[in-house]
Structure 1
C-alpha cells in the first residue's frame, strides 16, 4: 500500500509517500519525497492519487531488475527479459488495483481478442463480427456451421482453463483439449493415423507410428528444469508440437491454447494475435524448422511485444488513474 511517513534528521522533519511490497520473501519499499510540512488529509489523498501509480511502477521496476538476472539464455537479451518481467508484475498490479467491475470488463475484452486472435491464424478465420455474435450475443451467425460454433465456445472455455490444464500437462491433457475443440467432427482426441506435411516448410513430420513417442519425449522435455525464461520454453514447445502435427486437424488451435496456458503459468497475459501476425508467425515457425531457435523465439517476442507494447515498456497509462489502496501486497 501507499502511505505517509516521516523521517527526522538533525531535528528537521521530512515527509515521504512510501509503497511497501513483498518480493522473494522480503519486504521492500520505494518512496517519494513530499516536503518538510505534513500535508492535511485532503492533500494526502491528492498526493496519493498523483504519485501512487509512479510508486507502483517504481516497485515493479525494482522487481524487474532483481528477477531478470535469474535467467540464463542465449536467445532473448536482457532488455527483452526485463520487458517480460515488467509485463508480469504489472499484470499482478492491475488485478489488485482495478475495481471488480472494470476488471470484469477488461477480462471480457481480452477473452474476445484472445479467442478471435487464435482463429485469425487458422486457414479459415472468421470475421470479428461473427466471433462477437457467438461469444457476446449467444447467436450463431448465418453461414457458420454448428461444429464451428461449438469450436469457438470450446475455445472460450479452454482459454480460461488453459493455465490449469498446463499445470498438469501430459498426453491425456492434450488429447482431451483436442477432443473438446473438435466436438462433433469425428476426430477429436485421436492421434493421426496417416502421413502429414507442413505447408511452406521442408520439414517432414514423423510418421504416425512415432507420433505418440515423440509427444511423450516433448512432454518429458517440458517438465525438466531449465535456465530459459518460460516465454522461450513456451515458444520452443509450441514449435515442436506443431512439427509433430499429432492430429489430422486442429493442431494450431490446440498448440496456441497450450501457449496461452504456459504464459498464464508464468504470470504473462495471453497473446492477442492480429491478422497481420499470420505471416510473421509462420515465418518464425519455418525458421524453427530450419533449426534456428534464435529467430523462432525472437519472432515470437517481436509479435508479443507489439501486442502488449504499453505493458512491456511500463507506461504509466497502464495503471488505473485512481487505484484502490490495499494492505501489504504479496507479489
Structure 2
C-alpha cells in the first residue's frame, strides 16, 4: 500500500518549549486547511514518526474529511433540505479519493475490476438482464460465456467493455454527440424495435412503466436535451451542488426518454460521467436496490424531489459502506519489511 503523505511540524509554546504535530493538509476550491495530531514536546525519531503515522493516519483522514465536508457545504448552494446527507456525500468524496490513492498498482487493478463488475451487473440487471455477478465477471474478464443465456443478454454485458473504454478516453462536456455515442455502444448488436443504436427516436409510441407522465415529443428531443445540458452546466457554474444537479439531470433525462430503448442504461452512464468529472465515486446500484432506484424516480414524478434525493444519497453511501469500513486498514501504512 502507498502511504499517504503527512508532515511533521513544530511550533513554539508560551513556555518556549517546542510542540510537535503530525499534519494533514487539505484544500477545496482554492482554500487550504489542515488537521493535526499532537505528538509531544520531543522531536520524534524517524521510527517514532513512522509509528505515529500508523497510529494516527485514519484519525487524520476522518478529521480531514469532516473539514472538507464543512468547506463544501459552505461553498455550494444546496437546493433540497438534506444538509447532513450532503455532508456525508462530501465526506465520501474525500475518503474515497484517499482510499484510492492509498492502493498500490496491483490493489488498484483488482479494485477497479471489481467495481466495474458490480456496476455493469447492476445497471444491466435493473433492465432485466439475468446474468449473475459471477457470470458477469467471467464474461467480462475471462470471456467465458454463461450457459443458457440469450445472445441479447450476453451482448448487453459485453458492450460495456467498449462503453468503459470510450468513457475513459473522453474528456469533454456532455453533449448530444456524447449521448448518442454512449447509446450506440450500449445497444450495439441488440435488436431495437424502431431506430438503430445512437439514433434519437422519431416516434411518440412510448410508455414508461409505472407512471402516466408524457415524455418529450420526438421533434423536441434535441431541443429539450440541449436545454437540460445548458441548465446543468449553468447550475454548476453558479455553485449548485454537483451531486444534486447530477441526480436532477438523470431524472430529467429519463423523462425526455430520447431513445426507443436503452434510456436507463444510457442515463446512468451519463450520470456517472457527471459525477466522475466532479470527483465523486461511481454510483453503483446493485440488483437488490432496483426497487429503491425506481421508487426514487417515481418520487420525482410526484414532485417529491427531497425524498428522491434522499434515496440517491442513501444508494451512493450504501455502495461504499464496505470501502469506508476497510479504510482504516488501507490508509495505515504497513511497517517496512526487509
Matched with 2:198 is 189
CA RMSD of aligned residues (A): 2.5
Alpha-carbon contact 2:21-2:40 (below 8 Å) kept: yes
CA contact (8 A) 2:9 2:21 kept: yes
**1:287 corresponds to 2:287:** no
Q: 1:147·1:183 contact (CA, 8 Å) conserved in 2?
A: no
Secondary structure (helix, strand or coil) at the match of 2:279 reads: coil
- Describe the shift of the 1:282–1:19 C-alpha distance in structure 2 as closer, same or farther (beyond 3 A): closer
Q: 1:203 to 1:158 in 2, by over 3 A?
A: same
8 Å Cα contact 2:285/2:293 also seen in 1: no
Q: 5, 8, 14: which is aligned to 1:4?
A: 8
Counterpart mapping for 1:65-214 below 5 A: 65-159=70-164, 161-162=166-167, 165=170, 167-185=172-190, 187-194=196-203, 195-214=205-224
Pairwise CA distance, 1:264: 0.6
Alignment match of 1:264 (pick from 276, 279, 303): 276
Q: Give me the TM-score of the superposition, normalised by structure 1.
A: 0.87
Higher mean C-alpha deviation, range 234-243 or range 137-146: 137-146
* Residue of structure 2 in register with 1:305 after alignment: 317
Unaligned runs of 5+ in 1: 325-331
**Higher relative contact order (Cα pairs below 8 Å, separated by 6+ residues):** 1
Structure 1 window deviating more from structure 2 (9-18 vs 229-238): it is: 9-18
- Does the Cα contact within 8 Å between 1:150 and 1:183 map onto a contact in 2? yes
Structure 2 portions without partners, runs of 5+: none
* Rounded Cα–Cα distance in structure 2 between residues aligned with 1:22 and 1:75: 25
How many residues matched? 323
Q: Cα deviations across residues 269-311 of structure 1 (Å, max 9, x unaligned)? A: 1122122211111111112122222222222222222222367
Pick from 56, 64, 69 the counterpart of residue 69 of structure 2: 64
Structure 1 match to 2:308: 296
Q: Match of 1:69, SS? A: helix
Give the C-alpha shift of residue 189 in structure 1: 0.9
**TM-superposed deviation, 1:148:** 3.6
Q: 2:232 aligns with which of 222, 230, 255?
A: 222
| 236 and 168 in structure 1: CA distance in 2 versus 1, 3 angstrom threshold | same
**Distance of 2:165 and 2:68 partners within structure 1:** 27
Q: Normalised by the size of structure 2, how large is the TM-score?
A: 0.86
Asked if structure 2 preserves the Cα contact closer than 8 Å seen for 1:230 and 1:263, the reply is yes
Structure 2: how far apart are the matches of 1:234 and 1:95? Answer: 22
Task: Tell me how far apart the structure 1 counterparts of residues 183 and 327 of structure 2 sit (CA, whole Å).
Answer: 40
Q: CA deviation at 1:110?
A: 0.8
Cα distance change on mapping 1:323 and 1:250 into 2, 3 Å: farther
> Where does residue 329 of structure 1 map in the other structure?
none
Query: After superposition, what is the alpha-carbon deviation per residue over 1:83-121, rounded to whole angstroms, capped at 9, x for unaligned?
Result: 111111122222322222211211111111111111121
Q: Please, which moves more after superposition, 217-226 or 194-203? A: 217-226
**CA apart distance, 1:145:** 3.8
Q: Secondary structure at the match of 2:258?
A: coil
2:60 is matched with which residue?
Answer: 55
Relative distance call for 1:222 and 1:3 in structure 2 (3 A) is closer
- Counterpart check, 1:233 vs 2:245: yes
